[in-house]
Amino acid sequence: MNLPALDNDDTAAFERLVRTRRSIRGFLPAPVPRETLESIFGTAAPAPSNCNTQPWQTHVVSGELRDRLSRIFIDETIAQGKHSLDFPYEAKYEGEFRRRQVDVAVLLYEALGIARDDREGRQRAFLRNLEFFGAPHVAFIFMPDWCGIREACDVGMYAQNLMLSMWAHGVASCPQTILGYDADSVRRELGIGDDMKLLFGISFGYADESLPENRIVPDKLSLADAVVFHNQD
């Protein structure tokens, strides 16, 4: 099979998608049409995976079920501390990793107008995570229980495909680790067996461009900091 020919327009379009996509933390309530959803997820499907195993399964939640899961996350997962993670999350960032974490938090709280000592404001901002930032849709990303780190990397490549596909369709997204904190409730509400393990969720929909938190642009690593070229003239 011959590979399709690509041109400069393809390169420019891809670079524009990658450089302009960012995590959005405020969405309009309007749902994404079903036809667009099918195009988005169909385009994302041909992601690479080890031995073509394609170890991902995505459950898209909308409407009343989406609202019920949000209430469960707030009333049980947070208020009662009923965490059930399929994969541990320690997040012991140090050095440059800790600095990057703090820097993006400062950008966000400044955009929201929340002072460092405003505990109530910070709590409200935190709960927005569990309200999916107002997004009308959430994609919960699972993989089979036999999977390991290798397959989790495969799922990550699929998730990047998915979010770029969303952005190509004018749909914004925000991947959220915290949406994997109550895997048991998600499985129960969606009728999923224990043989599927939840990694994370992606809130998505049309961005509310009027919100200041959607205008922050975190710093990214430079090419020199991210890549080392060996044996290259």
- Residue 135, helix vs strand vs coil: coil
Report yes or no on 201 lying in a domain. yes
Tell me the Cα Rg of the chain.
19
pLDDT of residue 43: 97
Task: Determine, yes or no, domain membership for 113.
Answer: no
User: Does residue 53 lie in a domain region?
Assistant: yes
Q: How many CB atoms lie within 10 A of CB 134?
A: 16
pLDDT at 1: 58
| Regions of the chain where pLDDT drops below 50 | none
| The total number of residues written for the chain in this structure | 233
Q: Note whether residue 184 is domain-resident.
A: yes
Tell me if 197 is assigned to some domain. Answer: yes
Per residue in 203-231, pLDDT (tens digit) is: 999 999 999 999 999 999 999 999 999 98
Specify the amino acid at residue 148: G
Residue 115 lies in a domain: no
Give the model confidence (pLDDT) of 80-106 as tens digits.
Answer: 777 899 998 877 899 999 999 999 999
How many domains does the chain fold into?
1
* Residues 60/36, Cβ–Cβ less than 8 Å: no
Instruction: Look at residue 2 in the predicted model and tell me its pLDDT.
Output: 72
* 44 Cβ contact list (under 8 Å, min separation 6): 158, 161, 162, 164, 165
Q: Tell me, what's the pLDDT at 91? A: 76
**CATH number, residue 169:** 3.40.109.10
Residue type (1 letter), 232 = Q
**Domain assignment of residue 191, given as a range:** 23-89+130-214
Is residue 156 in a domain? yes
> Token pair for residue 29?
């309530």
The answer to whether residue 208 sits within a structural domain is yes
User: Could you tell me the pTM of the whole model?
Assistant: 0.94
